[in-house]
Amino acid sequence: MVLHDGYQWRNGLGQAAAVTVSPVVATIYTVIGSNANGCTDTASVVVDVLCPLKATSQTATFAGFAPMVTAETGDRWSLTDERDNKVYQAVKMPDGKYWMVQNLNYQEGLTFQQRANQPGTANGSGSYAIGSFWCPGMASAASSTQSACNIYGALYTWETAMMVDGRCSDEAHTNCGAAAWSESWMTGNYYTTGAASTTVKAQKNNARGAESSGGGGRGICPPNWHIPTHSEWTLLLDKVDGAGTGTAFQRQTAPAFVGTNNATGAGARLKAACVCLAGTCATNDYPAWTYVATYTQQQSDLYGLRVLPAGTRASNGAAFRERGTRGYFWLSSVYSTTLAYHRSFWHSDSRVTYNRSNRSFGVPVRCVFDGNTQ
């Protein structure tokens, strides 16, 4: 044991034997100790920044959720999914809708696949792996543990997220009920963004529960909640982005970065304000964004939506990807028989992207309340 006579803290913290810090981003703190004989010793500690869930004063079940129309932005509830008794939070956002604060972690009746290449087929997708889910694995890892779902939520293929299996008997989705599946890209310019095959045209024209009737399909979400449409995400991003970007978030060309690339950007205002240093993220047992100078310093989680970097399961089943650096969300919007749309948040940008990916990707889900409380 080395006894120190003097201390010198880096980071401009002075010479005290103990210091108190309150970093807003993950920070390494280093102290140099010295004694009268001129000997020195150096020690460092990494202080990561957590983002615990905020307290709620109101509770309900998802099915029985009935908020007051006069509720203010930021109104927060604790809600129980009666299907499996898991508890989530929901917050009223500036778009007037209640959004879940956590990624969905519904597993009942589904098969957990520990490895990214399960269920095994030529491309690892298992015919879109309907009925399977994964838990987010570390970037480039071939497998994951189920405990990761408790932190980041589950990863679903688009087919599983929309509950196509057992609810829709054909690729055209003509047998889907209004609460089971919907397609928001049905009219005007929306149709021209997708491949004009007969099958896709049928998807777009025959799906029920369309955007015109108030929202996306319920899919895997709890009763009275649904997977958001492109227009619902667009409205939310427009409301929170500091530039008031308007139609910029409705851009039809994917991929596209949209919004403001600074602290007022929708990405900065919606990403969870928990950050870890690149070297420590691999061992964290709590969710955090990998630190990038400038961008992660801008993260504020201003409205409490707490977007997390769960990453994805690669569509070819080769590995898990981008945990700690990217946060994805499925939309209920389909592009073709093989592709569907998603929104994504980056650790190295304060904007939000809009893109399409293979429906066999494993991607998280956020659910939105069916009612409008504006």
Cβ-contact 161, 153 below 8 angstroms: no
CA atoms within 13 A on the CB side of 262: 3
* Mean pLDDT of the residues in the chain: 76
Residue 355 has pLDDT above 80, yes or no: yes
Terminal alpha carbon distance of the chain: 63
Residue 174 has pLDDT above 50, yes or no: no
pLDDT in tens, 76-128: 999 999 989 999 999 999 999 999 999 999 998 888 888 887 765 434 444 45
CA distance 290 to 192: 37
Quick one: pLDDT band at residue 359, thresholds 50, 70, 90?
confident
pLDDT in tens, 5-38: 688 887 778 888 888 887 766 677 888 888 888 7
DSSP 271: B
**Entry pTM:** 0.80
pLDDT in tens, 188-229: 222 223 333 444 433 333 332 333 334 567 788 998 898 888
Cβ-contact 105, 287 below 8 angstroms: no
The region of weakest confidence among 42-56, 104-118, 313-327 is: 42-56
Report pLDDT for 176.
37
